């Protein structure tokens, strides 16, 4: 029907079927058939045909501005779709744990924004369970979650999760902390790091449960205890001797970071492009296998 709208406008503009057909790169019978289909669809004659050309009937006069508006809306829609497909606009709703949010994703997002400055990012710090629930509920498009040790990845048939990279957890403390009898700092219950810590150090005397990696690091630097954290989160602290690694046979602990979403076919163009960048250019090493949840 939209083609027929365009043909109607050409006839009005050029005054004859012959001229309109030439500008539409159609035969005159094909153009006539297009207008006939439009008249049948609306149940009314839209044009008077005469020796001097074609003119609008009353029904045609009523339809003309609506036909122009419809074609303009289609053109606007095509421009909007093109902008999304070409990543001139779009949105990515991203979720991740504290370590990924603070140390792994900022550089990746900045790199993506340099190429696609019109894409808007929403980043939410979450636990693994919160992240997966956010994807299931449609609140998040892509999340980074983690699993520890050699256990199976938590999964659901409604989600797809893909290996991204490995993360290594180590024990750290302030350089002058007396390790004998030292207490431990850790994250709040529900975080993957806390679950790993509880499993590995059931005897630990926990004196602080903190929400963020920044809070954990701040209290460790102040000499208030030992913490199990990602090596990525403390590289600079270790290099500058604000922290030291604490030796323990149970560490380092390797955990797998994964990208979780609702399936490739349901990713927006912007989210799909970010996923591809993370898998191809993400930091560190990533396993070669992939699992569909």
Residue 146: per-residue pLDDT = 87
pLDDT tens, position by position, 70-110: 998 888 888 788 888 888 888 999 999 888 999 999 999 99
**Domain interval for residue 65:** 2-85
Does the reported pTM lie above 0.75? no
Query: Per the domain annotation, does 156 fall within a domain?
Result: yes
270: helix, strand or coil: helix
| 266 in the same domain as 223 | no
| 250 in the same domain as 261 | no
| 185 in the same domain as 204 | yes
Q: Which of 63, 85, 107 is the last residue of a domain?
A: 85
Q: What whole-number distance in Å separates Cα of residue 160 and Cα of residue 175?
A: 43
Whether residue 234 contacts residue 243, with contact meaning beta carbons closer than 8 Å, is answered with yes
Give strand pairing partners of 148.
Answer: 255
- What is the total residue count of the chain? 293
Where would I find the H helices in the chain? 2-14, 17-24, 28-42, 58-85, 98-99, 105-115, 128-136, 192-200, 213-221, 231-239, 269-281
Give strand pairing partners of 260.
Answer: 143, 161
Which CATH number is 223's domain given? 3.40.190.10
| 139 in the same domain as 77 | no
Query: Per the domain annotation, does 130 fall within a domain?
Result: yes
| 152 in the same domain as 95 | yes
Which of 135, 258, 247 lies closest to 192, judged by CA? Answer: 258
Q: What whole-number distance in Å separates Cα of residue 52 and Cα of residue 45?
A: 18
pLDDT tens, position by position, 133-186: 999 888 999 999 987 444 444 445 689 989 999 999 999 999 999 999 999 999
Q: DSSP state, 240?
A: T
| 53 in the same domain as 193 | no
Which CATH number is 21's domain given? 1.10.10.10
Whether residue 125 contacts residue 101, with contact meaning beta carbons closer than 8 Å, is answered with yes
Neighbour tally for 79: CB within 10 Å: 11
| 277 in the same domain as 198 | no
Domain count, the chain: 3
Query: Per the domain annotation, does 261 fall within a domain?
Result: yes
């Amino acid at each position: 029907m939209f083609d027929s709208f365009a043909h109607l406008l050409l006839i009005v503009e050029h005054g004859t079927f012959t001229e309109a057909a030439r500008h539409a790169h159609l035969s005159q019978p094909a153009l006539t058939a297009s207008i006939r289909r439009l008249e049948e669809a609306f149940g009314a004659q839209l044009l008077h045909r005469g020796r001097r050309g074609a003119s609008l009937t009353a029904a045609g006069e009523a339809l003309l501005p609506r036909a122009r508006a419809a074609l303009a809306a289609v053109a606007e829609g095509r421009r909007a779709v093109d902008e999304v497909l070409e990543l001139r606009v779009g949105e990515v709703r991203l979720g991740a744990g504290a370590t990924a949010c603070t140390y792994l994703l900022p550089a990746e997002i900045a790199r993506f924004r340099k190429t696609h400055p019109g894409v808007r990012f929403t980043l939410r710090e979450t636990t693994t369970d919160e992240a997966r629930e956010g994807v299931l509920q449609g609140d998040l498009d892509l999340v980074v979650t983690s699993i520890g040790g050699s256990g199976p990845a938590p999964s659901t048939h409604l989600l797809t999760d893909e290996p991204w990279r490995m993360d290594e957890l180590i024990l750290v403390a302030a350089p002058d902390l007396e390790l004998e009898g030292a207490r431990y700092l850790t994250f709040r219950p529900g975080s993957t790091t806390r679950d790993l810590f509880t499993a590995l150090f059931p005897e630990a005397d926990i004196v602080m449960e903190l929400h963020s990696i920044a809070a954990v690091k701040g209290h460790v630097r102040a000499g208030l205890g030992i913490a199990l954290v990602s090596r990525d989160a403390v590289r600079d602290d270790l290099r500058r001797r604000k922290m030291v690694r604490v030796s323990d046979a149970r560490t380092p602990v390797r955990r797998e970071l994964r990208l979780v979403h609702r399936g490739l076919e349901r990713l927006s163009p912007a989210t799909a492009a970010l996923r591809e960048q993370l898998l191809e250019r993400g930091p560190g090493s990533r396993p070669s296998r992939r699992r569909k949840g």
